[in-house]
Amino acid sequence: MNPITFNFPAYKAEVIDNVLHVTYNGLTWFKFPLTIYVGEEDKDRRILKEAEVVCEKDGHTVIQFETASTRWAKKLYTLDVAEDGISFKAKVSEPRKNVYNFGAPDLENACTGLEGFQSVGKVVYCYDTEYEASGYTLPLALHCSKKRMYREIIESSTITSTLLAPPMFGFPFVSEKAAGSIAVSLCPAPGEYNFDEFQYKLFENRCSFVVPYPRPRKVGEGGSWETANLLITFGSDELDAMKAYTEWNFKYNGCKRAPLHTAKYTDVPRWWRGPFFCGWGEQNCKARQEYFEDKEALKDASVAHLKHIEWLAWKKAKQLATQELYQGCVDKIEERNLPVKVIVIDDKWQKNYGDLIVDEEKWPDMRGFVEEQHAKGRKVLLWFKMWDAEGLQWEQCARHADAVQHADPTSPAYAEYLQKAIYTLLSPDEGCFNCDGFKIDYADTRPRNPECYIFETEVYGVELLKRMQSLIYNTVKSIKPDALINCSSGNPYFAECTDQARLHDLQAELRNLSSCMRWRADLFSTAIPGVLIDSDGGGIGSHEELLNFMEESITFGSPLIDKMTEDFGKRTVVMTEEDWQKRVNVWTKYCEDIDAIYAAAQE
């Protein structure tokens, strides 16, 4: 076939002998073989239909060609080239004998509910790609800054959920030979995120991109299946290239923004911007007091002993999410004149994690507490442990080996129960608690055993998480539209069910906290433009870090404090009266600036 060439202001692309050559800033970064192997040992055997341009419209040129492979009698490839990115996918059909779920039947390793089809499969994109990129930055958040996420090109890596659940599934590459970044990303259609991870693989001086599908994908006689798009985008740096990935998903791939992400600043409820008080740190402080009444004992404690005590205290802390403790915190907030707008009641206010029934021994009058906070201009969020099945019934859960393992959002019984439970927690009606939203945690503890029974058998991985979060979000908004959902979503597919992204836990030993948390904020904001940021940041381990983060955090998110009393057990800092006054001053100025914007909008 004759070469097909595309010249755009940002980049050049050429299709030569079914290989895509991508040139950016004067360098040919990649030569992608236009192949997608669907299933173990799948290989294209012959071309059935040569590549041709089938459509040119709105700045897009669509090229298609067709092959036959070892596993599929027909495989239709589609390449879409436009100024804002290049996408590539395949549609497989007419599976050859015994080809199901991207593998052969395996009765000895049957997956419950799918009659013996094996649960192992993968899709390999662009096997044997030549490259000139020198490295890439993983779009993940660990206990480190951006530079720690950099990988040399020789390092194979996997993108999966960590503190971002889920993250953006893309590798933004850089080169020492040219400026800018090219991101290679995975973009499934809505409903097709049935995977956990996206992999960059290097082998014998060539690379490829792999998606494992642990849950069976059944394609029978007469059936077909379309892969996710492999997307190539361009930017001035890694985040800029990933912003192009995000915008492509909103523009072409069915991802939806939440209305408030594109609304005017003052259309967002004022209280969503904080400041926040979350009581988890306070619960831990009180728990550690039982083990470290004499602080001098810390000086001689071994590391192993300290870790054991911390674990015991962590377990004890869950028993201390009580009305008495939170009322004491509110009293101290008021004594110090901290302008807190939101109280977050943390782990574990409920009798059982799964049933969401208020533990009346801990909270004899939660409705009274909530109404008192409302009267003082504050809102109340409840901590929500996603996936935990404690207290749920058999038919509401994902199961394996006759054991309940997780809540199942595809189960009609669970959906009905959850909707009623959330109504009781959020509604202002009599007999309800009138709370104002949820801080969602443990998002990444979803079922990962591919043999686990789920009511909708083909839903798995990130898609299962989307089902759960959408169920919670839509239920909450139907009951109280201005309720706040605080969660860990870092992918544009989740924009429609995310109000606020939480930057998450940190290690007290960090001494670059602000750069670490700013990197996380940048990732969330790149994935979901306009999302609010909860700066989090409890458990800071040095006095200088505390003072620095106090001021830096308000530049990229809503400020938060997690305890009102002196810590015990950890070698963490003690806030002086001068520190407390500084926090009051910083937060008061933060509130005054925001309130002025809202006041001006009312004029």
Interval 357-362 mean pLDDT: 98
Q: What string of DSSP letters covers 94-118? A: EEPTT-BTTB-B-GGGPPTTSTTB-
Is the torsion defined by CA of 362, 366, 368, 372 positive or negative? Answer: positive
Interval 445-464 mean pLDDT: 93
For the record, the structure tokens of 57 come out as 């419209």
pLDDT tier at 222, thresholds 50, 70, 90:
confident
Enclosing H/E stretch for 333: helix 323-335
Give per-residue pLDDT as tens, 376-429: 999 999 999 999 999 999 999 999 988 899 999 999 999 999 999 999 999 999
What the chain holds in terms of domains, given with CATH numbers, is 4-252 (2.70.98), 275-602 (3.20.20.80)
pLDDT tier at 510, thresholds 50, 70, 90:
confident
Integer Cα distance of 22 and 171 in angstroms: 16
Integer Cα distance of 272 and 157 in angstroms: 36
pLDDT for the residue 144? 83
Comparing 42 with 115, which gets the higher pLDDT?
42
Interval 33-40 mean pLDDT: 94
pLDDT for 107 beyond 60: no
Interval 49-75 mean pLDDT: 95
Burial class (CB in 10 A: 0-12, 13-18, 19+), 509: exposed
> Can you say how many angstroms the Cα of residue 354 is from the centroid of all Cα atoms in its chain?
21
Integer Cα distance of 136 and 151 in angstroms: 5
For the record, the structure tokens of 470 come out as 């959408």
pLDDT for 302 beyond 80: no
Answer for the pair 391, 353: CB distance below 8 angstroms, yes or no. Answer: yes
Give per-residue pLDDT as tens, 459-494: 999 999 999 999 999 999 999 999 999 999 999 999
Interval 542-549 mean pLDDT: 91
pLDDT for the residue 103? 41
pLDDT for the residue 111? 33
pLDDT for the residue 540? 82
pLDDT for the residue 223? 82
pLDDT for 187 beyond 50: yes
Integer Cα distance of 489 and 370 in angstroms: 27
pLDDT for the residue 298? 61
Answer for the pair 408, 396: CB distance below 8 angstroms, yes or no. Answer: yes
pLDDT for 99 beyond 60: no
Interval 508-535 mean pLDDT: 94
pLDDT tier at 121, thresholds 50, 70, 90:
confident
pLDDT for the residue 117? 35
pLDDT for the residue 551? 95
* Average pLDDT, rounded, for the chain: 91
Comparing 216 with 184, which gets the higher pLDDT?
184
pLDDT for the residue 294? 60
Q: What are the two backbone dihedrals, phi and then psi, of residue 116, each rounded to the nearest 5 degrees?
A: 90, 10
Interval 5-13 mean pLDDT: 97
Strands 60-69 and 72-82: antiparallel
pLDDT for 66 beyond 90: yes
Q: Distances from the Cα of 317 to the Cαs of 4, 289, 321, 325, 541, in angstroms?
A: 64, 11, 7, 11, 20
**Element counts in the chain: helices (H) and strands (E):** 10, 29
Q: Distances from the Cα of 268 to the Cαs of 91, 126, 434, in angstroms?
A: 42, 43, 20
Interval 516-525 mean pLDDT: 96
pLDDT tier at 573, thresholds 50, 70, 90:
confident
Q: What are the two backbone dihedrals, phi and then psi, of residue 489, each rounded to the nearest 5 degrees?
A: -70, 130
pLDDT for the residue 113? 35
Interval 523-545 mean pLDDT: 92
108: left (phi over 0), alpha (psi -120 to 50) or beta: alpha
For the record, the structure tokens of 37 come out as 């192997």
pLDDT for the residue 291? 72
Integer Cα distance of 91 and 107 in angstroms: 27
Answer for the pair 467, 410: CB distance below 8 angstroms, yes or no. Answer: yes
pLDDT for 110 beyond 50: no
